[in-house]
Structure 1
């Protein structure tokens, strides 16, 4: 099992951080490895929504579809894919520190199967590094126009 959790404090109100992060259209802007996000179901994000992503990770091109399995606006978003050799679940959680600071938690968990099992420890390390970079990027984007 690979289970990686990272977090960051963003100097923006919770509603703003959650709205931006929970919108799959924004994923290619703040996720370094995600190249595209295409809705498979009607917008906006809701329970059962599906979004197809194209990404690059560890030198490989990946295509997968996430389904939203839990969504509490402004609090939590959980999406899961069962495709490929590495089924994955991604969770975003947002906590207001005060009226203008939000803690965002990004968690990726999955159970590699087959050949992927061999690379699980490396994958966890690389995922932690990528998640940390992505959280720094979303922080930079959201704080860029801060008054």
Structure 2
């Protein structure tokens, strides 16, 4: 069973500002509740082919995985993919202007768990949905209070 979770939020800041912050993997531990560290394996900034090692905790497990940027349109879209472990995943961020001075950000995680991980796909999707909502709320607070 595939997992495909999409969440969105409106952030009261211009799209270039939101994209610059959210699209920099170095900032991920500040707004993702489950991500503990990010280590660049290629020199920053983000570009197609950039690789970063993430260490996270999710559903009581420590996860270490490497994301590769497979698509990047500055200020509009960022797609990262990993093929490692029992749950290969793709994460997509999109940023769209919303009104005069706000941004609609979408966070989408999708993947195809294999083996034992596939048994928990529905629970995993629900946990991802809850975590994404918290993460986007934290991102909104961080960006809006730093204006």
Match of 1:129 in 2: 130
Match of 1:33 in 2: 34
Q: Is the 8 A contact 1:27 1:37 kept in 2?
A: yes
Question: What's the TM-score, normalizing by structure 2?
Answer: 0.98
Distance in 2 of aligned mates of 1:41 and 1:82: 18
5+ residue gaps, structure 1? none
Distance in 1 of aligned mates of 2:26 and 2:122: 30
Secondary structure of the residue that 1:25 maps to in structure 2? helix
Match of 2:101 in 1: 100
Counterpart check, 1:4 vs 2:5: yes
Distance in 2 of aligned mates of 1:145 and 1:115: 43
Question: What's the TM-score, normalizing by structure 1?
Answer: 0.98
Counterpart check, 1:82 vs 2:64: no
Q: Is the 8 A contact 1:14 1:99 kept in 2?
A: no
State the shift of 1:99 in Å. 3.5
Distance in 2 of aligned mates of 1:30 and 1:116: 26
State the shift of 1:100 in Å. 1.2
5+ residue gaps, structure 2? none
Secondary structure of the residue that 2:120 maps to in structure 1? helix
Distance in 2 of aligned mates of 1:113 and 1:87: 9
4+ runs of 1 displaced by more than 3 Å? none
State the shift of 1:98 in Å. 2.6
